[in-house]
Amino acid sequence: MNILDLKVGQSIDWKFGISTRDVYRASEDKFEITDTSSGWYVALVSFETLEKLLKGELSLLDLDWV
C-alpha cells in the first residue's frame, strides 16, 4: 500500500533510512508521523509535505517534532 493512498484512520509502517516510522492519516490533509527510534516523537504534516518527504525534496530533519 502506498502511504498517500491511506484512508483516514489507517496507518502504515514506513521504512525510511535505518528506522521504521509509523504514518497515520488523521484527516484528508493531515498525517501524523511517529518516530520511536530515540524516544517518542511526533510530527504533523500536510499531504503536500508528505509528498515532498517521499520524493526526497524535504528531510525528516525539516519537520517540527514534539
Contacts of 7 by beta carbon, 8 Å cutoff, 6+ apart:
25
- pTM of the predicted protein model: 0.90
User: Where do the DSSP E strands lie in 5-60?
Assistant: 11-16, 19-25, 30-35, 41-46
* Average pLDDT in the chain: 94
Using DSSP's 3-state secondary structure scheme, residue 51 falls into helix
Q: Average the pLDDT over 36-58 and give the result.
A: 94
Using DSSP's 3-state secondary structure scheme, residue 17 falls into coil
Q: 43 forms bridges with which residues in the sheet?
A: 33
**Domain around 58:** 3-62
Residues 24-43 have pLDDT tens digits of 999 999 999 999 988 899 99
Overall number of domains in the chain: 1
Cα–Cα distance between 63 and 65 in angstroms, integer?
A: 6
Percent pLDDT > 90 in the chain is 83
